Chains A and B, each alone.
Chain A
Amino acid sequence: MSAIWTLRRGQPGYPPALEDLERPPEQLWGIGERELVASLEPGRTVTIVGARRVGEHGRALAASIACDLAGAGLVVVSGMAYGCDSAAHEGALVGGGETIAVLAGGPDVVYPRSKRSLYRRILAGGGAVISERPPGTAPERWAFPERNRIMAALSCLTLVVEARAASGTRITADEAIKLGREVAAVPGSVTSSLAELPNQLIRDGAALVRDAQDVLDLILGVGVAAVERTGPPLDDELAAVLAAVERGAASPDALALAAGLPGDAASVALARLELMGYVTTGELGTIARTSLRPPAQPNA
């Protein structure tokens, strides 16, 4: 394990962004890339948060947006919790970017424990894990809202993916509003409980974000940076299956029926789309669309 370092308030390296907080942490403990935190530019940093219990849809969203943002050179901050948080870290790693996890316990206390592999990969990927609590401290319940305020302060924009109205995600969003930081949310169906918070935030004035491009336009200005992610070309059959996923087919059977394909052809098409990166399949086999766009059809 790498050495633990500290960043003390008032000394060089302490992120100035944290001074905006009502009660800035006196010091930060960290593991991993100290320079990444010390030279963090809030203007090139995005915090992505969301519910722990989300479906493949929320995970895929968080991961693909984080992946694209990381690809565009932004730092992704999140809390390493189950669901959206860890998906955001995973996505940033896939995108080849650096990512910072803010923990509620000490920086050496991996929580949740089952995210040990993610923790190691964040550090191996040139990222950092930080906390305002000393090494060895267990993450108490009250420490999570405290942690959320640091996540909100580190970046210029907090993006809410999927979350219920009353949740820890709400605390992070509220902190960001209090700090005058930008808040953005990905909208969802008005009947879905997981879209409660994002929809509410958008109604109250948060920016509506559909993909990483929208985030880039928000924080860097329209047209400054472009997410250029198009996948390999699709033949008619694959395009039909992808259209079925976009219409909401989430199980292989639903996909085959919607695309009018027999089971064997539908399976092949599904695997192809997954290999090309157009869809992902969750642990429970639920299919979700990623943000990857097919190339414009020259003969269309």
Chain B
Amino acid sequence: MASASVRTFTLLGIEAREVVAEVDVTQGLPSFSVVGLPDAAVRESRERVRAAISNSGFTFPQQRITASLAPANLRKGGPGFDLAIAAALLACRNELDPSALAGVALAGELALDGTVRSVPGVLAMAERAAELGIEKIVVATESAPEAALPAHLNGGSSKDLRIVPVHRLADLRLLGTSAEPSYDFSAAPRPALAATAGRDLADLRGQPVLRRALELAAAGNHGLLILGPPGAGKSLAARCLPSLMPPLSDAEALEVLRIASACGRADASLASVQRPFRAPHHTVSTAGLIGGGTPPRPGEVTLAHRGVLFLDELGEFTRDALEGLRQPLEDGEVTITRAAHTVRFPSRFLLVAASNPCPCGRGPTHPECECPPGAVRRYQGRISGALADRIDLAVTVEQPSGETLAGEPGEPSVAVRARVIAARERAAARQGDIPNGELDAAALRRHVRLTRAGRQELARGYRALGLSGRGHDRVLRVARTIADLADSDLVDADHIAGALAMRRKGAR
């Protein structure tokens, strides 16, 4: 047999696309070429395949070898095709049984000694393989638990996919025999969905209003802005948030793991899956924050998917980076379009921003603050556009006093989380999957029913505080969450007042 083909995958963003590796061996001057828009890592695959084959007890043919990766118009990157190219080459020369490779997909990198290494994105590849009705997927031994995640968390067609973990290239000889290795689902339990993540709210002493703001943010998925001087506990507060949010559902955990897997970081999170907490530094580039590059890679907003994105020193982020948050905040996903294809990254996160009151951090009322009034205004002005629309809550904090810090620990996260879960269930029963923080004007009219006193209180706020239409909607969203926490169908005056207290002050 002079040619053979096997199935493998390439990663486009965080999704797997099927690729067929075809190898043709003919008479001619000994050569080895790879076609099908390979990048440098794929072209170097030739050297790894040659060495791995020779070192695994096979013979490398001194003939003219052409490997083609189809579809030919899709740009391919990374070392993940090594295993498939080697298998196809061996099948050409009947060193492997071609029939044993039917219905099999392979994904792995080869070491020169023939060891099979893991590649990023195995989770998405296993999902895709199951969708395509492929029977078995061959992966590196250390990737096998990752490949098993869809079956653990999602079941469905993923349960029918057999996972074949291999240590070395030579193990491919076992394919289709009775000695074929197989991943044992029962030996490796499904990952635990960790209930707690990050810091515990008990560590936040004093600061009752800040605690309340965190509870509201977690219960309604409202963007939160914490204003205050350095040392006021802004960052600690943000780190407490993941522990207040409900544990991830199986489907959400799979989304989080799919992203981690595509970034090659899934193994670390296998034991327990937590809501991610990402705190990019304010010098982060727009591509680093939103995603981008060639090939497109997920940014911080995607790494924070289903978790918390914390922007400390909000005023120091570049305007471009903050403007870039518009699409992820509005659509819950990032779309990156390249000439050849479009990649989508999910980005549903809870936004928490912290800011000093002015560039020097001391605040305009502090005797040593020398920031001109214009600078203070500009600093606060960064919170504009899309960001402003998604930040429903604002709270101003002060450095807690020494006696407060020495005082009793506050209510622990577990207790607050129980209330958050109850409020979210109440909201879900009413309006489905959309959290209160994402209700638009039309949905607000449908789901927020005010009592007479509530309506009056809102009208008073509108008059006395000069709320704009958008500010009005933000207050309604938060008031809905307060009512949910109070287990109330109707939004009452107290709920409106509680929301007014947390409005963003400068914003009208």
Contact = CB atoms under 8 A, between A and B. Distances in A.
B494 interface: yes
Contacts of B207: 253
Interface in A260-287: 261-264, 266-268, 270-272, 274-275, 277, 281-286
A83 interface: yes
B380 A252 contact: no
A56 interface: yes
A140 B208 CA distance: 49
B400 A275 contact: no
Nearest to A255: B209
A144 interface: no
Contacts of A173: none
B464 A266 contact: no
Given A264-B212, A284-B227, A284-B380, A57 B501 contact: no
A82 interface: yes
A56 B398 contact: no
A257 interface: yes
B501 A268 contact: yes
B357 interface: yes
B365 A57 contact: yes
Residue with the highest number of chain B CB atoms closer than 10 Å, among A55, A252, A285: A285
B456 to A, nearest CB: 10
A196 to B, nearest CB: 10
A251 B207 CA distance: 10
A55 B497 CA distance: 25
Interface in B164-192: none
B210 interface: yes
Contact of B398 (A82, A251, A268, A281): A251
Contacts of A192: 367
Contacts of A83: 373
Nearest to A193: B367
Interface string B185-226: 000000000000000000000111111110000000000000
A53 interface: yes
Given A264-B498, A271-B501, A275-B461, A286 B212 contact: no
A110 interface: no
Most buried by A among B363, B465, B505: B505
A56 B396 CA distance: 13
Grouping DSSP codes into helix (H, G, I), strand (E, B) and loop, the B interface class, with mixed when no group exceeds half, is helix
Given A268-B497, A268-B498, A285 B505 contact: yes
B365 A56 contact: yes
A277 B463 CA distance: 12
Nearest to A282: B505
A11 B86 CA distance: 102
B394 interface: yes
Interface residues of A, number: 40
Nearest to A261: B208
Nearest to B211: A263
B206 A257 contact: yes
A252 B398 CA distance: 9
Given A263-B212, A272-B497, A284-B227, A254 B465 contact: no
A216 to B, nearest CB: 25
B20 interface: no
Interface in A182-237: 192-194
Contacts, number: 111
B4 to A, nearest CB: 68
Given A277-B464, A283-B380, A256 B497 contact: no
A275 B500 contact: yes
Contacts of A52: 373
Nearest to B370: A53
Contacts of B464: 274-275, 277
A188 to B, nearest CB: 12
A262 B397 CA distance: 15
Nearest to A56: B365
A147 B354 CA distance: 41
B500 A274 contact: yes
A268 B497 CA distance: 5
B274 to A, nearest CB: 26
Interface in B266-281: none
Nearest to B460: A275
Contacts of B460: 275
B139 interface: no
In this complex, which of B380, B396, B460 has the most chain A Cβ atoms within 10 angstroms of its Cβ?
A: B396
B364 interface: yes
Contacts of B377: 114
Nearest to B394: A285
B501 A267 contact: yes
Nearest to A191: B367
B396 A251 contact: yes
A112 B363 CA distance: 21
A275 B457 contact: yes
28 contacts: A54-B365, A57-B365, A251-B228, A251-B397, A252-B396, A253-B397, A256-B208, A256-B209, A263-B209, A263-B211, A263-B212, A264-B482, A266-B208, A267-B212, A267-B497, A267-B502, A272-B497, A274-B464, A275-B460, A275-B497, A277-B464, A281-B505, A283-B380, A283-B505, A283-B506, A284-B363, A284-B505, A285-B395
6 nearest CB pairs, A to B:
A285-B396, A263-B212, A55-B365, A263-B208, A267-B501, A252-B209
